[in-house]
Structure 1
Amino acid sequence: MTFKKIILSFIIFFFMLPDAIAKAINSSDWIKTEIANFRLVSGITNIGSSKFVPLGLEFELKDGWKIYWRNPGDAGYPPEISIEEKRNLSKLEWFWPAPKRFSFQDIQNFGYEGKVIFPIRATVQNLQEPLFLTARVMALACKNICVPLDEKFILTVPVGITAETQYAELIRQSQQLVPTELSWPGFSIINIRNAENSITIEVKSDSPFQKPDIFIETKQNFEFGIPKITVASDKLTASFKLSTNIGKSEKIVPIPLTLTFTDKDKFIELKKPLNIGISAAVDVNSTSTFQWLEILFVAVVGGMILNFMPCVLPVLTLKLVQVTRKSNAQKHVIRTGFMYSAFGVIFSFLLIAIAAIIIKQAGLSVGWGMHFQQPLFLGSISLILLAFSGSLFGWFHFKIPRVFLWLESKSVPTIRSEHKSINRLNHFLTGAFATVLATPCSAPFVGTALSFALSHGPLEIFSIFIAMGVGLSSPYLLICIRPELLRFLPRPGAWMKKLEIILGVLLILTAVWIFTILYQQIDLNWFIAGVLLIGGGFLTFGLYHVTGSIVLKIASLCLPVIALIVIEYADQRPIKTFTDNRVLNTGTSIDNIIWREFDPLLIPDIIKQGKFVFVDVTADWCLTCKMNEKFVLSSKMIRKLLSRNEIIKMKADWTLPDITISSYLTSYNKFGIPLNVIYGPNAEKGIVLPELLSKEKIFNAFFKAGLQQNNTSQPNYIEKTFINGKNLEK
């Protein structure tokens, strides 16, 4: 071998050795048999700041072979891990993906075929020591015959700077296949009833059923037969009737059931009691306190209040300034302008309602303000804001395409003037713009109305969204009915030009706020490029207004288009994958509060320890959330309250799409944020706080959840200032 070949071999060995060592450490060797191959893998390279280590038990089954679920059915036994030697291991938590049903004559088995990974979460005792594990895996694989599998694994996860391994995505995907209470948004149980030798379970779903199935587990040795499944004609309700040996009782006795429902790629696991007894039935479907007409009234009031939220108020002010500029106009001209603005608001809500119905019928989740999670929308709305500010600076006036003028002339024959048509459509777009800016805001009654609408059918969605549109457009409708009210506005003068410049600057600042949201969603380099292109387009248009250069005009039109293309195809920022107990730097003014990463699966265990959980679902684009944070959560009393050791604080950031947070919202029949929930020993299901927080509401909820007022570890300030939620502070 020549000297060059020796050097080349050494270099190849040097660079391949770390990767080979990493693979050896981060996974066990494959156990290969004629029936199945299986191994244990780790999702992280090293133990870093988290005590949780994501693992996966991976099986590759040969054709026709199956292994079993935790409830194997009529025969078999599930896979299990027996620890033979361990170092720095506190516990292992096993998670089970949704199973399949395998039938052979009257024998029913539940399990898996092909490739399956069982997610396992290991908890280490010490972050400064490596995790070492020697475990024996036992499973039963069946085809025409059943063969036991029994092999030993060795796995090591060292200490160091943590990073995801090549197996992280596989573990993450398998974790998403584990049924939970939140994994099927829009699913609920209508009732459970027990007959002499059978049990019937009725369910409903917002998305159509295709091929539903059910798996029932009890701690007692009750048996359940093959389910007889009936799906309604609308495919939104279904019933499962199963034979059982539970029988009946002279008195009502609750039997805990674990119910796992599957339907192709949808699944959910719920725990419900079966009350056996004469005429025993469980109605577990909650009904709304408000009747439909009452909800319509609530929607109108909520829409009216939205006008005074920081999202919409600048648009209303801008509208009044535009009218003041033409205060000498005839009443019918003013009335028509405000009427078209009201039409713009109501028509926009109508479009939102149609979009919500289409999304729901497609089986997807829908929520208020979700479009602010889309980078392309953020880029577009920032351009609109800058365009409005340029109009206020006098750089240009909006011109409506002639196709819209033709449509309006057909729909309103009495209008002959193109100038009048442009004015009317400008008013219409002002109303539509107000609706768009209202969507990241919430207000009292808005959450109630939205929750009722989005949890019901198309009729409720249409009527409630239109009612909210009427409420939001109420100032325009009021001026339309009584235009003489405008005489209370100041007369036009030089002050108006200054006010328009101030409003233009405010719109630019609003665009900057939009950019801060966009910053959280796309890669930094793409973000800088997109913002520079948008800013360049805005500045070149301003220079074009001064110089009249045709080159600047073309550049001002091309740069924003390129910016939107860049934003649309930009790389997204990486999303955090594994939830753990790491402390988050929330970047808020609540400087002495430790926020933990949101993980709803940890909440029941925390409550069992006698502690409390405060969940804050927020987003960078949610202005109401920021108001709550600024004026309530940052107050001295609330900071003192939340700093108590027995209160665990979880922050769920919905700035980016997150299925866990979406499912959590749906579980409380909420379709928008903010959402704040308090859990405790006396409130295991949680106490939902109103959209606009107050100190009194937070204290009362904690006391209701079981928090003691006379805790000696807490400064007396809280007890002296709040007793039973009453503010005694002068």
Structure 2
Amino acid sequence: MLNRPAHALSTEWLVNPQQPEARVRLHFSGEADPTTRQLYAALEVQLSGDWKTYWRSPGEAGIPPEIDWRIKQPQGSSNIETVEWLWPAPERIEMLGLHTLGYKNGTVFPLLIQVKDLNQPVSINARLRLSSCTTVCVLTDYEIQLDFTPSDLKTDPQASFLIDKALSRVPTTMPDTGLSVESVVWNKENNKVVATAHSETGWEKAVDVIIDGQEDITFSLPVFTIEDNQLQAVMNASSWLGEYNLSDESVTVTLLNGDNGLEKTLSVKEVAASSLPADTRSASLLVLLGLALLGGLILNLMPCVLPVLGMKLSSVLHASGQQARVTRKQFLSSAAGIVFSFWLLAAFLWILKLTGNSIGWGIQFQSPWFIGFMVAVTALFAANLIGLFEIHLPSFLSTRLAAAGDNSTAGHFVQGMFATLLATPCSAPFLGTAVAFALSTNSFNLFAIFTALGVGLALPYLLIAARPSLLKWLPKPGQWMINLRRLLALMLLVTSLWLTSLLQAFLPVYLLLMIALIPTVLVLHRLLISLMPQAGKRILLLPSVFLSMAIVLFGAWSTGLFTPEQSTSDNLIWTPLNEQEIASSVAEGKVVFVDVTADWCITCKANKIRVIDRDPTNSLLQKDSIVTMKGDWTRPSEEINAYLQKNGRFGVPFNIVYGPAAPEGIPLPVLLDHDSVTAAIEKASSR
């Protein structure tokens, strides 16, 4: 390795053939402190493209860089006593669904190297191990060799500027900016860690709190509560080892406020749940199980569960007039199917989390294969109810699926499973809180919360199973049952057409129309035959085709299939979600209304029809002082997924209002109403 002259001491760029996208170089400023015998140096790392490297605590994945100075080895570095590695403030980087801390495109690490004697030669013979990642990670070694005598060095202005600039980004070397970290507390029961900080000058939009210092323990993205100059950062702790104890353990808190920062080491104090901030006390597992149970129950009343209601009514029809024992068994089977399907969802999300993929409530509807599967299922159920044909499961199950007069349980079990799958595009009050906790905690809590959600959704089934006599209140079997089956078939057909419209993000329009037209013709043709048996099948085929074409074309027009690029509302100008633009707009004194939505989210559609597209909210959002932003989660998006999780959410709809008086944002309820939107906008805009 070439040695530079004493007035410009640095290595050449070091490149390892195994990782051509990264290069490193060691600089010395030429300055030395005669009192401490410290030399000022810096390790410069440059990464091309989207490559990244890591902070000292990389987060959920990654390996921090390190240098083995080989001070005690015979052929290693000599005349070196200690080396202090300083860490510039990191960025939060989401990669493959994992939250990491590091540096994009590289960084400069300041080094304080203390030598034994400034007048004796220093020999550096060290090895740098650097982890760099995109969608794959490469662990690379670099041999660093340099020989010089500190007393012979002259100041290198370029190296000094590089080192000073890097030092300005290190929280431990930043000047006093009125920041302070007051405490870190932990409640074991609800797994909440709360860091409290204070700023004499107020808080910037770019505020962050990072906790590290405990091996094998990671901390989730913080959720901030800001009141005047006081800040509270609430996060969850987790360990891949399972059990852990933070009580009286030492942690390092890195507080970032815009371009300013502070780092402080504190002892964690264990507190009771009642000592936590009021908005975090409800996070205990017992309370969250109650919220999940209530959220699952309310899910039965959401507009997207109409086809599920149809399946329930179909079960009631089949159960009418039979023995209480059989009724109880069938309804318990449906309830078991619901709970089992929630276990499948929990397992699916758990696997996604372990493998580093994005997770969230209803994300299966981001897959065209899943949507296509549900289109086929709902169409088959509709055809079965109208009597087009009977659906048989494999013979070894010895059952028919939801067929009249069938006393077996397998069909009802499967019916409950599909009921759950059709319910997942919806959000309900309390559901978001429970799901957010479940997806940010350990596997036991995840399955416990999803079990409670399933039991909540299955409560009507369980009620009938407990009291089969309730079915006696139904009218006696007759023509009304046939008419109700026809109505349920139409409801499921509409559901199938709606699901087909969700494929517009993946398939061309003409193919979607053909997919929608085929089951519509079959079901309507059979329906007309049952209504007018004397007319004959052939005569009714032509009106069935024309009626089906009219229904499909009207549905395509009403769902925006012909104009997929149109805005969420015709009279509102929506810009794509961008956190930097939010901060810029708020700095200009404007209010920002954010709507994170998805085409498959029926609760989102309900909010749009009931509130966003209607006055007074619609007129309010049209004001020049208000910026409307939309995040479309119809298809997978790492950016939107990261934004949701940053705000403690794992599903849509999510609406939040930012403004000069609320730069951190005011989250809105899952089900919007005019009063809550108006109040949030007024609060965010007032100073």
Q: Tell me the TM-score normalised to structure 2 length.
A: 0.60
Q: CA deviation at 1:320?
A: 2.9
Q: Which amino acid aligns with 1:320?
A: L
1:332 is aligned to 2:325 = yes
Q: Which amino acid aligns with 1:633?
A: I
Q: Partner of 1:633 in structure 2? A: 612
Q: CA deviation at 1:363?
A: 0.8
Q: CA deviation at 1:351?
A: 0.8
Separation in structure 2 between the aligned mates of residue 299 and residue 211 of structure 1, nearest angstrom:
26
Q: CA deviation at 1:666?
A: 1.5
1:520 is aligned to 2:505 = yes
Q: Partner of 1:316 in structure 2? A: 309
Q: CA RMSD in A?
A: 5.3
1:112 is aligned to 2:62 = no
Q: Secondary structure at the match of 2:685?
A: coil
Separation in structure 1 between the aligned mates of residue 374 and residue 18 of structure 2, nearest angstrom:
54
Contact 2:52–2:102 (CA<8 Å) still a contact in 1?
no
Separation in structure 2 between the aligned mates of residue 251 and residue 657 of structure 1, nearest angstrom:
41
Separation in structure 1 between the aligned mates of residue 177 and residue 370 of structure 2, nearest angstrom:
61
Q: Secondary structure at the match of 1:636?
A: coil
Q: Partner of 1:501 in structure 2? A: 486
Separation in structure 2 between the aligned mates of residue 280 and residue 646 of structure 1, nearest angstrom:
46
Q: CA deviation at 1:187?
A: 8.7
Separation in structure 1 between the aligned mates of residue 625 and residue 580 of structure 2, nearest angstrom:
18
Contact 2:328–2:466 (CA<8 Å) still a contact in 1?
yes
**CA distance 1:525–1:209, change in 2 (3 Å):** closer
Contact 2:597–2:654 (CA<8 Å) still a contact in 1?
yes
Contact 1:179–1:260 (CA<8 Å) still a contact in 2?
no
Of 451, 454, 459, which residue of structure 2 is paired with 1:469? 454
Separation in structure 2 between the aligned mates of residue 707 and residue 257 of structure 1, nearest angstrom:
21
Deviates more, 1:440-449 or 1:371-380: 371-380
In structure 1, the gaps of 5 or more residues are 1-60, 77-104, 118-173, 189-196, 231-241, 262-267, 407-417, 550-572, 577-583, 709-730
Separation in structure 1 between the aligned mates of residue 93 and residue 443 of structure 2, nearest angstrom:
14
In structure 2, the gaps of 5 or more residues are 1-14, 30-38, 63-83, 114-126, 132-168, 182-198, 200-205, 212-220, 223-253, 271-275, 539-560
Give me the identity figure in percent.
32
Q: CA deviation at 1:614?
A: 0.5
**CA distance 1:419–1:526, change in 2 (3 Å):** closer
**CA distance 1:343–1:682, change in 2 (3 Å):** same
Q: Secondary structure at the match of 1:693?
A: coil
Q: What pairs with 1:538-577 in structure 2 (closer than 5 Å)?
A: none
1:403 is aligned to 2:384 = no
Q: Partner of 1:511 in structure 2? A: 496
Q: Partner of 2:256 in structure 1? A: 272
Q: What pairs with 1:424-443 in structure 2 (closer than 5 Å)?
A: 424-443=409-428
Contact 2:40–2:110 (CA<8 Å) still a contact in 1?
no
Contact 2:293–2:452 (CA<8 Å) still a contact in 1?
yes
Contact 1:618–1:673 (CA<8 Å) still a contact in 2?
yes
Contact 2:596–2:654 (CA<8 Å) still a contact in 1?
yes
Q: Partner of 2:567 in structure 1? A: 586
Q: Which amino acid aligns with 2:355?
A: A
**CA distance 1:629–1:706, change in 2 (3 Å):** same
Q: Tell me the TM-score normalised to structure 1 length.
A: 0.56
Q: Deviations over 1:112-143 (max 9, x none)?
A: 36xx35xxxxxxxxxxxxxxxxxxxxxxxxxx
Q: Secondary structure at the match of 1:371?
A: helix
Separation in structure 2 between the aligned mates of residue 452 and residue 604 of structure 1, nearest angstrom:
27
Q: Partner of 1:570 in structure 2? A: none
Contact 1:681–1:706 (CA<8 Å) still a contact in 2?
yes
1:612 is aligned to 2:591 = yes
1:642 is aligned to 2:621 = yes
Separation in structure 2 between the aligned mates of residue 612 and residue 251 of structure 1, nearest angstrom:
28
Q: CA deviation at 1:75?
A: 6.3
Q: What pairs with 1:679-694 in structure 2 (closer than 5 Å)?
A: 679-694=658-673
Separation in structure 1 between the aligned mates of residue 510 and residue 529 of structure 2, nearest angstrom:
28
Contact 1:299–1:445 (CA<8 Å) still a contact in 2?
yes
Separation in structure 1 between the aligned mates of residue 356 and residue 390 of structure 2, nearest angstrom:
42
Q: Secondary structure at the match of 2:592?
A: strand
Q: Secondary structure at the match of 1:312?
A: helix
Q: CA deviation at 1:607?
A: 1.1
Separation in structure 1 between the aligned mates of residue 521 and residue 289 of structure 2, nearest angstrom:
46
Separation in structure 1 between the aligned mates of residue 582 and residue 338 of structure 2, nearest angstrom:
41
Q: CA deviation at 1:252?
A: 6.3
Q: Deviations over 1:8-63 (max 9, x none)?
A: xxxxxxxxxxxxxxxxxxxxxxxxxxxxxxxxxxxxxxxxxxxxxxxxxxxxx997
Q: CA deviation at 1:227?
A: 11
**CA distance 1:693–1:66, change in 2 (3 Å):** same
Of 387, 391, 394, which residue of structure 2 is paired with 1:394? 387
Separation in structure 2 between the aligned mates of residue 435 and residue 421 of structure 1, nearest angstrom:
22
Separation in structure 2 between the aligned mates of residue 479 and residue 700 of structure 1, nearest angstrom:
42
Q: Partner of 2:190 in structure 1? A: none
Q: Which amino acid aligns with 2:256?
A: K
Q: Secondary structure at the match of 2:304?
A: coil
Q: Partner of 1:445 in structure 2? A: 430
Contact 2:598–2:633 (CA<8 Å) still a contact in 1?
yes
Q: Secondary structure at the match of 2:596?
A: strand
**CA distance 1:185–1:394, change in 2 (3 Å):** farther
Separation in structure 1 between the aligned mates of residue 469 and residue 390 of structure 2, nearest angstrom:
27
Q: Partner of 1:355 in structure 2? A: 348
Deviates more, 1:321-330 or 1:658-667: 321-330
Contact 1:249–1:278 (CA<8 Å) still a contact in 2?
no
Separation in structure 1 between the aligned mates of residue 93 and residue 280 of structure 2, nearest angstrom:
15
Q: Partner of 2:334 in structure 1? A: 341
Separation in structure 2 between the aligned mates of residue 68 and residue 498 of structure 1, nearest angstrom:
70
Q: What pairs with 1:690-729 in structure 2 (closer than 5 Å)?
A: 690-707=669-686
Contact 1:678–1:687 (CA<8 Å) still a contact in 2?
yes
Q: CA deviation at 1:246?
A: 3.5
Contact 1:248–1:277 (CA<8 Å) still a contact in 2?
no
Q: What pairs with 1:201-240 in structure 2 (closer than 5 Å)?
A: 214=102
Q: CA deviation at 1:375?
A: 1.3
Q: Which amino acid aligns with 1:649?
A: T
Contact 2:299–2:427 (CA<8 Å) still a contact in 1?
yes
Q: CA deviation at 1:639?
A: 1.3
